[in-house]
A and B are shown apart, each in its own frame.
Chain A
Amino acid sequence: MNRSMFLNKTWKLLCSLKLAIVLASAATLLIMGGSLLIPFNPRVFSHMDAVALGDWLRTAGAAQPALTWWVFAAGALMLLLGLNTLCCFLDWARNLRARWRKSGEYLIHLGFILVLAAYVWGSLAGFRSEGDRIFVGEVREIAALPGYYLRLDAFEPQLGASGRPVDMLNTVTLLHGDRVLSQEVVKTNTPLTRGGLIVVPSSFGRQPAGFNFFIAGRGAVSLAVGSQFELGGGRMLRVIDFIPDASRRSDGQAVYLGDELGDPAIQLELLQSDREPWRGWYFLRGEIPYPLVAAGVRLWPTEPLYRVFSVLTVNYDPGAPLAMVGATAMLAGVLLAAVSFYYKRGRGDRPEVV
């Protein structure tokens, strides 16, 4: 067999309709069997949507090959099917003058190739990040996109008639350095998108950020990190830090345990004109620190002070715009194929049979 015959035969095989059926059938049967492992092995599969497929294959996928081999095999079959579809499409495009009546069907092929290529691209070069907490006014760097930042300008939960939250209105600004790229009110079904970057709301919550106190002779006062309070007589109280759940070290310092309200501790600084400043931790479930009592500062915690945060999903999929082009090609292909189907049926055409 000479080289051109070999190339010709290889090309015919790659364009073969029967190869497409074999690959599609093999992929269908493999995924059918494999996917039944998904609901019964949540430890392995439940995070598949939380990370890009490439990351999942490298981590959870590679760690449990006995359970995940079918995902690798299905990926290989889909890539082969994509190659077969591409060759088939190119073969059609080469003979467009004679086969233009099949434009609808081949637009669907093109759409499939583009969506598949986009998915592979996004799986390898994209990232997903779920559960990013961001407070109002906070600026967060997008870890996987250095130089890009998100700022939450405002947040407003929408509550239903029963008082349950039904939606979240996040005013989000996307920045590149100091330059504003985009600002959107991000809510359910209304994401912020730019290129392959997408920001969607996921949840929201509140975190203790300080405490309300009753100060003898002064009444109620709210103290959070950064706040300061004039006590009179040249004395001032400043809040240096706050930990919602802390434990006390032997030297009196506080150790961070968590963000849920447990054993809260507030770090205060007492500035007095006639004495050295005092700085120390006040564990709110315990006694008032002696230096405060000695200075005549009596403050009792009444209730925690909360800060609302939004939980955003920040994903980057460089293939997403290409997938949209593919979807548009498929949509156009389906409409054209349907019109052409009725036209051909009307003329009594029968399909070519191999």
Chain B
Amino acid sequence: MIASTSTLLLGSAFAAYFASAFLYLLHLRVRRPFVLRGAVVLVATAFVLQTFILGQRWLAAGYLPVTNLFATLFFFSWALAATYLYFELRYRIHAAGLFVIFLNLLLLAGALPRDPAIPPLIPALDTPLFTLHIAFSFLGYAFFAMAFSLGVLYLLQRRLASDLLPDPGLLRKLNEEAIFLGFCLFTLCMIMGSIWAYVAWGYYFSWNIKGVWSFLVWLFYAGMCHAKFVRRWQGTGYAILSIAGFGVVLFTYLGIGLLLQSNHPLD
């Protein structure tokens, strides 16, 4: 019952994101405020639907269900929508969110054909440290995805100087904010993960490839948090780093999880 309701609601959320992407694209031709407002309302609606599904699945499972590829894609998508809404409500970034919505559609398109059944929880995952580790991890990833989107838009805006997009100064500021918040959240993810690894395995850093690349993600964004103070790396350099950084994130999350053997299998 829960699975079928979830699938229906998830389909509705996907449709709402799809429609919002359409409205954002429409706004490129029809520059009316109600088109933009409609797009934001649709994103908010999809986010509410996803939050409801997440809550329902959490209640049914008794734990935050993020233990397979369907659940992690769904949770990543939810975190990304939350991040987008944060920037939209705080800075009115409007069409600057289009990239994020496309990314969200990709994540949901990846989740939809998969089995939404919630697997039984193995004792190793039955700890609040797991919940915190996962939640901070995907919230961090979502901010890094937002930074990627803002970086791409910054580079575009430098070439196009379009009045549809925020000015490069604001995009730069938002990019720095996304990186900083993503780094803070990812640091919390690493701390929770390390403590959990220590109590579960007896050591807090693993030389498994997933552990190594998670550390690389942290080190890369730590470097970026410093690079914003160097004039040469501001603006274009920072945008390029944001794009490269998200490549590292994607490899760490999907590349290692799906292509290589690691201690964080996705399926």
Contact = CB atoms under 8 A, between A and B. Distances in A.
A binds B: yes
Interface stretch (A232-240, A248-256, A289-297, A329-337): A329-337
A190 B126 CA distance: 11
Interface stretch (A89-97, A266-274, A315-323): A315-323
Given A24-B219, A38-B207, A354-B230, A128 B181 contact: no
Interface string B193-233: 01110111111111111001101100110110011111101
B207 A327 contact: no
Contacts of A48: 207
Given A28-B223, A108-B187, A338-B184, A189 B123 contact: yes
Contact of A31 (B124, B201, B216): B216
Given A18-B230, A188-B123, A27 B219 contact: yes
Contacts, number: 120
A353 interface: yes
A334 B182 CA distance: 11
Contacts of A119: 205
B180 interface: yes
Given A39-B260, A191-B202, A49 B207 contact: yes
B203 A17 contact: no
Contacts of B203: 49, 128, 315, 317
Contact of B204 (A32, A199, A320): A320
B202 A198 contact: yes
A132 B187 CA distance: 34
B223 A21 contact: yes
A318 to B, nearest CB: 13
A17 B233 CA distance: 12
Q: Is the interface of B mostly helix, strand, loop or mixed?
A: helix
Contact of A38 (B127, B209, B233): B209
Contact of A17 (B124, B180, B222, B229): B229
A36 B248 CA distance: 13
Contacts of A338: 181, 184
Contact of B201 (A24, A35, A53, A313): A313
Interface string B57-91: 00000000000000000000000000000000000
A287 interface: no
B122 interface: yes
B207 A45 contact: yes
B243 to A, nearest CB: 15
A22 to B, nearest CB: 9
B234 to A, nearest CB: 7
A327 B193 CA distance: 11
Nearest to B202: A315
A167 interface: yes
A148 to B, nearest CB: 16
B188 interface: yes
B200 A331 contact: no
A27 B212 CA distance: 12
Contacts of B213: 32, 35
B129 to A, nearest CB: 8
Contacts of B231: 353-354
B191 interface: yes
Given A198-B202, A334-B187, A49 B223 contact: no
Nearest to B228: A351
30 contacts: A17-B226, A18-B230, A21-B223, A21-B227, A21-B233, A24-B220, A24-B223, A28-B220, A31-B219, A32-B248, A35-B213, A36-B209, A38-B208, A38-B212, A39-B260, A49-B201, A158-B123, A188-B126, A189-B123, A189-B127, A191-B202, A198-B202, A200-B202, A314-B202, A323-B194, A327-B194, A331-B188, A334-B187, A341-B181, A354-B230
Given A24-B220, A200-B200, 13 more contacts: A24-B223, A28-B220, A32-B216, A35-B209, A108-B187, A188-B126, A191-B202, A320-B198, A334-B188, A341-B181, A352-B229, A354-B229, A354-B231
Interface of B: 120, 122-124, 126-127, 129, 177, 180-181, 184, 187-188, 191, 194-196, 198-209, 212-213, 215-216, 219-220, 222-223, 226-231, 233-234, 248, 260-261
